[in-house]
Structure 1
Amino acid sequence: MGRDPEARLFTGPRGGRISTAVLRDATCWDEVVTKLGYEHLRRHDLRHTGLTWMADAGVPVHVLRKVAGHGTITTTQRYIHPNQQSINDAGAALSAFLKGDRSPRGPHLRAV
């Protein structure tokens, strides 16, 4: 009620943008990843994971671009890393399509 729709949902300690240092400290990031044995994991890696999962769920790349705040779809595409199962599923979907439209004994495609 009366709130600016463009206002930040979360703000830093002084009311501005949340810096990576504030986020790291607030989440105890360094301690958590060390305890879990993932010292190499960066918070930024989670953007890649989240966008990849959304892409695997069928979210169109133009929507992912908006979610990520990227200026171009090309940048967004660099964040999406399909796994082998996603590649296999794409081949299976194409095989099913070809079998349905062509012949019952249509080609069967597989990732190599």
Structure 2
Amino acid sequence: MKLGDLRASPMGDVDRVRAGVERGTPTLTVEDVSALAAACDRVSPRYGDYVRLAAFLGMRAGELTALQVGDIDLNLGVVTVRRAFSAGSLQTPKSRRTRQVPVTQTVRTVLEPLLLDRSKSAPVLVGPLSGRLYHSNFRTKVQWSALVSRLGWPDLFFHDLRATAIVLWIRAGVPLSTVRALAGHASLTTTDRYARLARNDLSGAAAQIDSYIDGQQWQHHPR
């Protein structure tokens, strides 16, 4: 084994939260995702694809690293989430049930070259040395904490890319019951948390726009 490419520890996929700290859930815009993925591309294009798929498929890190070529049907336009990689082995997803996620054109562009001439049992995502992609190695190689701080999101966890996808679905007008199925949430209560987040983000944007318009009005003298 090469230094830095060892198997991940059982806690490798877990983002640490400081004890006693209440944390909101930041989400990225599509432009933000592109910037983050491009930064990871500079380390390895495979890491950039990892970010893109997380942000647009709404899959957890362990689900992405367990994804196999046979789980993707580009003709039907679906990705089937059957398993997750955790604690060094393949397991069932967190929800304990299989789910399907639609393949958008953005996702298709990422997936097509990754599936070309590969066996159905091959992992979709591999590391720079063509072995299994381990999340802990990804974090180390791209220097995740320093990277997201440099890009202006010091509190961003990789898992927030899943939240980004869910909020994008809600903003696109996908019904919450469908979002629940796509995300694999146990109940609509969980999904509604993301709906509130989406609404709060939009409210914040409206407030910024109002503030800007008010400022512009002060620059014009009334007739």
> What TM-score does the superposition give when structure 2 sets the normalisation length?
0.29
Deviations 1:16-45 (A, max 9, x none): 139xxx853142267134123134211222
Please report how far the alpha carbon of residue 86 of structure 1 lies from its aligned counterpart in structure 2 after TM superposition.
9.6
- Distance, in Å, in 2 between the alignment partners of 1:33 and 1:62 is 34
1:73 aligned residue (181, 188, 199) = 188
Output the CA distance in 2 between the equivalents of 1:60 and 1:16. 31
| Correspondence 1:100-111 to 2 at 5 A | none
Q: CA contact under 8 A between 2:148 and 2:156: conserved in structure 1?
A: no
SS in 2 for 1:52: helix
Structure 1 residue identity aligned to 2:91: R
Following superposition, the deviation at residue 14 of structure 1 comes to 5.0
2:136 pairs with 13, 19, 25, which one?
25
Residues 56, 23 of structure 1: alpha-carbon distance in 2 compared, 3 angstrom cutoff:
farther
Where does 1:39-58 land on structure 2 (aligned, <5 Å)? 39-58=154-173
Which structure 2 segments of 5+ residues have no match? 1-69, 72-79, 93-132, 207-223
Aligned-pair distance for 1:69? 0.9
Give % identity.
26
* Residue identity in the other structure for 1:34: A
1:104 paired residue number = none
Q: Is the Cα contact below 8 Å between 1:56 and 1:86 reproduced in 2?
A: no
| Structure 1 residues 41 and 23, CA gap change in structure 2 (3 angstroms) | farther
- Name the CA distance, whole Å, in 1 between partners of 2:82 and 2:191: 25
Moved over 6 A (4+): 3-6, 85-88
Taking the aligned partners of 2:82 and 2:154, their CA distance within structure 1 comes to 34
1:13 Cα shift? 8.8
Deviation digits for residues 25-80 of structure 1 (CA, Å, limit 9, x no counterpart): 14226713412313421122222221111111111101110111111111111123
Using CA pairs under 8 Å that are at least 6 residues apart, name the structure with larger relative contact order, 1 or 2. 2
Gaps of 5+ in 1: 89-112
